[in-house]
Structure 1
């Protein structure tokens, strides 16, 4: 069942890097990313923040539990001259040490940990993933700040800032 997302989309993707410096990547079973390595990703749902959405998406697609450390990028584009397609890209750290990957078979055909060299040299990485793997991302991330209240008048149930230190 395809959901009507309107004409403005907000997606999230997680760059999850393990203790060996390998990136968690997936091959989707659908769309333009079918059969090529990409990041665990999906859409923000009603009632969740973008950083909550990426933790959920990584877990759903790979079974890997993680936490967001920072924001490292934002991809934006317009599809067919009418759909604003936006994606926040978060830097994430696995939280449970050595975890076994368990894919969401309805959306993912494969998932594994690959080194930056393997990603760049594979010829099977998405354009975005290959571009990101070619740069030192960790030093350019915006860091997360929790526990901020911009004022009760706004009635936020969840609020976080991402900024340079």
Structure 2
């Protein structure tokens, strides 16, 4: 049964980076992100904060426990001129780097740790992930990135991504 989300969506995602500098990325089974690497993410649920939602989504999708170390940015867009689609993106690190990845097969095709170079040269990263990886993120100045098209499938009429640079 599909949940009714209304016309204002709030999602939360996590850029989980291990001590080797590799990022935890996932491949979804559905939507415009089907078959491409993206960050673990999902909708904020009633009764939880956005950072709690990011941690829950990482755990649900990959089995990895992590902690939030900061906020990477905020992605916001309007779909078909009618749905406000927003995502808080948090910087995280795994609690136990030896913990194996265990994917949520209902939602994911795959999950793995990839280097920034692999994300940028592999040809399978989402537009947002490529943009974040090319900026190498965690720098301390918010920067608005416009003119990005994450794919026609989404039908955004307005789309911006904010990252720390």
Distance in 2 between residues matched to 1:63 and 1:30, nearest whole Å: 20
Match of 1:92 in 2: 92
Match of 1:76 in 2: 76
- For structure 1, list consecutive stretches of 5 or more residues without a partner in the other structure: 143-163
- For structure 2, list consecutive stretches of 5 or more residues without a partner in the other structure: 143-163
Alignment pair present for 1:109 and 2:109? yes
Match of 2:20 in 1: 20
TM-score (norm 2): 0.84
Counterparts in 2 of 1:5-154, with a 5 A limit?
Answer: 5-140=5-140
Secondary structure in 1 matching 2:68: strand
Contact 1:41 1:58 (8 Å CA) reproduced: yes
Secondary structure in 2 matching 1:77: strand
Compute the displacement of 1:96 (Å). Answer: 1.6
Distance in 1 between residues matched to 2:13 and 2:2, nearest whole Å: 20
Largest Rg, 1 or 2:
1
Contact 1:70 1:141 (8 Å CA) reproduced: no
TM-score (norm 1): 0.84
Contact 1:70 1:91 (8 Å CA) reproduced: yes
Compute the displacement of 1:141 (Å). Answer: 7.4
The list of structure 1 runs, each at least 4 consecutive aligned residues, that deviate by more than 4 angstroms after superposition, is: none
Count how many residue pairs are aligned between Structure 1 and Structure 2. 143
Distance in 1 between residues matched to 2:23 and 2:39, nearest whole Å: 9
Compute the displacement of 1:2 (Å). Answer: 1.4
